[in-house]
Amino acid sequence: MFHYGAFLMLICSSIQISSAFTDGLLPNGDFKDGPKPNELNGTHVLGKYALPQWEISGFVEYIKSGQKQGDIHLVIPEGANAVRLGNDATIKQCLNLSRGSYYAITFSAARTCAQSEQLNISVYPESSLVPIQTIYSSVGWDSYAWGFQAKHSKGDLVIHNTGVEEDPACGPLIDSVAIDFLYPPPLTKYNIIKNGDFEEGPYLFTDMPGGVLIPPLIEDVHSPLPAWMVESLKAVKYIDSDHYSVPQGKRAVELVAGRESALAQIVRTIPGKTYGLTFSVGDAADGCTGYMMVDVYAARGTLKVAYESNGTGGFKKATLRFVATGNRTRVTFLSSNYHMKFDGSLCGPVIDDVLLLSVRNPGRKLR
- What CATH superfamily classification does 218-358 receive? Galactose-binding domain-like (2.60.120.260)
Query: d(Cα 304, Cα 302) in Å, to the nearest integer?
Result: 7
- In the chain, ranges of CATH 2.60.120.260 domains: 4-182, 218-358
Distances (CA, A) of 353 to 193, 229, 239: 10, 16, 14
Query: d(Cα 334, Cα 253) in Å, to the nearest integer?
Result: 11
Q: How many residues does the chain have?
A: 367
Q: What is the β-pairing status of strands 18-19 and 90-96?
A: parallel
Torsion of CA 246, 252, 258, 259, to 10 degrees: -140
pTM as predicted: 0.90
- What CATH superfamily classification does 4-182 receive? Galactose-binding domain-like (2.60.120.260)
Q: What is the full per-residue pLDDT of the chain (367 aa) written as tens digits? A: 344 444 444 557 544 555 555 689 999 999 999 999 999 999 999 999 999 999 999 999 999 887 777 656 777 777 789 999 998 899 999 999 999 999 999 999 988 876 677 899 999 999 998 988 888 888 888 999 999 999 999 999 999 998 877 777 788 899 999 999 999 898 888 999 999 999 999 999 887 778 999 988 776 678 999 999 998 889 999 999 999 999 999 999 999 999 888 999 999 999 999 999 999 999 999 999 999 999 999 999 999 999 999 999 999 999 999 999 999 999 999 999 999 998 889 999 999 999 999 987 655 555 4
